[in-house]
Amino acid sequence: MHCLSKAVRAKMIKKKIANPYMRFRLEINGCTKEKVTTGQHSETGLEAPETFFVELDAYEKKYGKADPEKISFEEVEPGVVKAGVSCLRF
């Protein structure tokens, strides 16, 4: 694709025919130069650990008495709220 109009291109072809040793530089001959800036962005980090809810009775059978700060309440079924502990999945 040419960046020159047909009239300018025809004029330059005539000059080239008249002088075969002539060299053309695009920035001198009227072509528009485009400035393009690029950038790159990368981000690294850790994913949050996956947790699962264990009912309080089952947790205390396996691990002993639960820390009161770690006990949470979750709605298991509509209208049924149970106490339990959120554990990390390894």
The gap from C-alpha 37 to its chain's centroid, in whole angstroms, comes to 18
- How far is the C-alpha of 29 from the C-alpha of 52, rounded, in Å? 69
Identify the pLDDT of residue 84: 92
Domain count, the chain: 2
Identify the pLDDT of residue 90: 67
Which element (helix H / strand E) includes 83?
A: strand 80-88
> Scanning the structure block, which residue is given the tokens 């205390």?
60
Within a domain: 23: yes
Q: What is the pLDDT along the chain (90 residues), one digit of tens a residue?
A: 456 678 878 888 898 899 988 887 765 555 566 788 899 988 888 888 888 889 999 999 998 998 889 899 988 888 899 999 988 876
Within a domain: 41: no
The whole domain housing 80 covers 51-88
Number of Cβ atoms within 10 Å of the Cβ of 85? 19
Within a domain: 44: no
